[in-house]
Amino acid sequence: MEQQNVLNEQSPEEMMEQLINLHYSGLYRMAYKYVCNEQDALDIVQESAYKAMKHCGSLREPQYALTWLYQIVRNEAVSFLRGQKPSVPIWEMDGGTEAAYTDIDLHRAIAQLPVGEKSVVFLRYFDGFSFKQIAEILQENINTIKSRLYRALQKLKAMLEGSYAQL
């Protein structure tokens, strides 16, 4: 409640600047998970911050500003991917900030998922968002998000069982 009062007392630009600064690392992580390239992820976050600052006056409900910001980052990342050829997969990078994964098979399997399913897995298990927050970020029905996550987990299970069966 106190945070909401603080948000209401600030101008939209001040509020958005504060949110960007507080959540910069999470925004960067999200962009990086999509593009698997540090420089591209930085560009996406910068472009997203610009768009958020430019349009923050049109935000009707300040309590949804963070969700809106993550949605902008996701949309920018997807737009970037549509215009690019595939980049180097994360498990083939040497020493990138997000490349220190312990379960390479899992991340290879996640990389094979369609973008919609991959988004839900990242947002739920890597960023810790609730189903409601994911539904707001992706602008989908909460039941669609749950179904998509269940389908993604089934695919991951099948892929991982197949990779371990080959050992």
pLDDT at 65: 87
Walking along the chain (167 residues) 10 residues at a time, the average pLDDT comes out as 52 88 90 87 94 88 86 88 56 44 71 85 84 87 93 90 61
Q: Which CATH number fits domain 1-100: 3.30.70.1250, 3.30.390.30, 1.10.1740.10, 1.10.3720.10?
A: 1.10.1740.10
pLDDT at 163: 60
pLDDT at 147: 94
Alpha helices in the chain (DSSP H): 2-9, 12-22, 24-35, 38-55, 65-82, 104-111, 115-121, 131-138, 142-165
pTM of the model: 0.64
- In the chain, CATH 1.10.1740.10 covers 1-100
- In the chain, CATH 1.10.10.10 covers 102-167
pLDDT at 100: 44
Give CA–CA dist 26/36, Å, rounded.
15
CATH architecture of the domain with residue range 102-167: Orthogonal Bundle (1.10)
pLDDT at 83: 73
pLDDT at 93: 42
